[in-house]
Amino acid sequence: MPFIVAFLFAYILWLVLTAGSNGLLWSTEELVAGLVFAAIVGYATKDVVGENSTRFLNPVKWVTAIAYAPVLFWGMVKANLDVAYRVITGKIRPGIVRVPVELENDAQYTIMSNSITLTPGTLTIEASPEEKALYVHWINIPKGLERPESSKPVAGPFEKWARRLGR
């Protein structure tokens, strides 16, 4: 079944790229060519996308992803302003902290790490599923938080969202 995931993923991108070939919609030949090429790409990459990628076909997950977009965007806005403040004032206390996380699979680690890296001031430098921890470079470690107990002070609500999105 991973063929279906890769095929749909590829076909949707093809439709996005060729939109407008017939008015605002797609001409028949583009649709057919897209089917052929998406089938080839899906067949070639069915082992790459992985056996358990079919869980991302669940529409509940897409709604969750759309709901996550403003959360991530708002986090980025806040953190960018914070970094601008630190650039002007120079008040930094950098260091690398080990953040214990409660995540189960690779997709959750990826979503979590990318969210942490996208919000400036924090940068994931290593995700270690074996010891259930992330190593994060933090621009301004508050006093007493050198060994955080959870990901709350580093990443805010991102761990909860990553667990939900990648389940």
Q: Is 48 in the site for another protein (CB under 8 A)?
A: yes
Q: Enumerate residues 98-117 that contact another protein by CB under 8 A.
A: 106-107, 109-110, 113-114
How far is 141 from 160, CA to CA, in rounded Å? 22
Alpha carbons 153 and 38: distance in angstroms, whole number: 43
Please report whether residue 65 would count as binding another protein according to CB under 8 A.
no
CB of 143 to another protein, least distance (A): 30
Residue 127 in the binding site for another protein (CB under 8 A): yes
From the list 1, 19, 25, 33, which residue makes contact with another protein (rule: CB under 8 A)? 33
Residue with tokens 């358990």: 52
Site residues, another protein (CB under 8 A): 6, 9-11, 13-14, 17-18, 21, 27, 29-30, 33, 37-38, 40-42, 44-45, 47-50, 53, 106-107, 109-110, 113-114, 124, 126-127, 129
